[in-house]
């Protein structure tokens, strides 16, 4: 079985104190396209293919989730919102050129932005450039968070509530505590806080098939109320596969929440 968070955060205790027997599920997507992804430092052709796949799946998945009023989270890299991203100094000449000549592959267009502004979506941040925080100084990490908040506010006209670190980079809890953000925590032994959401499960067909998800929920079903945080990137799952997962969640009458609605429910 995959990683399962066992330590209890304050909000998990609040969940357990609830009278209801719901299974709350949060579907969470990190959105960087191929920006500073696994191929970015050498194989830009593969990066472009990765972005193309993500954009195709997003265009298929978001309208379906939105039409069903399903609540979910999407964490966005600020660089995907900023037309002048390609001039930033940490990009190599080749990467800058790749961004300029393939800008559509790394920029969220208006229709996609409108899908992300729907009330069922809890959009958040995933840093600005998607550089690995483990390789950055504290100062650079603060710049990444501040810049992504500023960019987010410009496009969403409100502050973000939730952050996922690039590569789920560990040991950033001391930096994030200076910001009023909830965040996806790592299972790295740092004591959980009110704002840390356990990492949960990396959810895609090769990691957790719909059948495995069904078995997992069935096995945990006796421990209700439950919360499952399932995250991925839009590249791992197409719309048809997504539907198979949704069918499993429906089978157990799961309540699909986004982090904003879930945390406000717990603070009632």
What residues line the site for Zn ion (CB under 5 A)? Answer: 30, 32, 166
Minimum Å gap between C-beta 25 and Zn ion is 21
Minimum Å gap between C-beta 127 and Zn ion is 8
What separation in angstroms does the CA of 230 have from each of 15, 137, 198, 202, 216?
17, 29, 10, 6, 12
Nearer CB in complex with Zn ion: 5/30:
30
Q: What whole-number distance in Å separates Cα of residue 267 and Cα of residue 86?
A: 41
List, in order, residues 6 or more apart from 207 with CB less than 8 Å away: 2, 201, 236
Nearer CB in complex with Zn ion: 30/144:
30
Minimum Å gap between C-beta 180 and Zn ion is 22
Nearer CB in complex with Zn ion: 160/166:
166
Q: What whole-number distance in Å separates Cα of residue 204 and Cα of residue 133?
A: 24
Minimum Å gap between C-beta 222 and Zn ion is 34
Block residue for tokens 């949704």: 246
Nearer CB in complex with Zn ion: 86/167:
167
Measured at CB, which residue is nearest to Zn ion? Answer: 30
DSSP 128-165: SS---GGGS-HHHHHHHHHHHHHHHHHHHSS---EE--
- Give Cα 172 distance to the centre of its chain: 16
Nearer CB in complex with Zn ion: 47/255:
47
Minimum Å gap between C-beta 16 and Zn ion is 30
């Amino acid at each position: 079985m995959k990683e399962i968070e066992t330590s209890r955060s304050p909000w998990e205790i609040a969940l357990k104190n609830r009278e209801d027997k719901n299974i709350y599920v949060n579907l969470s997507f990190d959105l960087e396209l191929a920006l500073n992804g696994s191929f970015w430092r050498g194989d830009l052709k593969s990066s472009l293919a990765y972005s193309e796949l993500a954009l195709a799946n997003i265009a298929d998945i978001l309208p379906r989730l939105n039409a069903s009023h399903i609540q979910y989270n999407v964490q966005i890299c600020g660089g995907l919102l900023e037309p002048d991203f390609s001039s930033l100094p940490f990009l190599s000449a080749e990467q800058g050129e790749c961004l300029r000549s393939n800008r559509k592959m790394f920029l969220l267009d208006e229709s996609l932005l409108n899908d992300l502004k729907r009330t069922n979506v809890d959009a958040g941040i995933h840093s600005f450039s998607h550089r690995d925080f483990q390789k950055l100084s504290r100062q650079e990490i603060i710049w990444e968070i501040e810049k992504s908040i500023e960019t987010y506010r410009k496009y969403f006209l409100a502050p973000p509530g939730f952050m996922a670190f690039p590569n789920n980079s560990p040991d950033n809890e001391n930096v994030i505590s200076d910001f009023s953000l909830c965040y996806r925590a790592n299972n790295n032994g740092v004591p959980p806080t009110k704002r840390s959401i356990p990492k949960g499960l990396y959810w895609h067909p090769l990691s957790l098939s719909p059948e495995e998800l069904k078995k997992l929920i069935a096995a945990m079903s006796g421990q209700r109320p439950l919360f499952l945080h399932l995250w991925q990137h839009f590249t791992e799952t197409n719309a048809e596969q997504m539907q198979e997962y949704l069918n499993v969640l429906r089978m157990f009458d799961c309540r699909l929440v986004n982090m904003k609605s879930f945390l406000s429910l717990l603070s009632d």
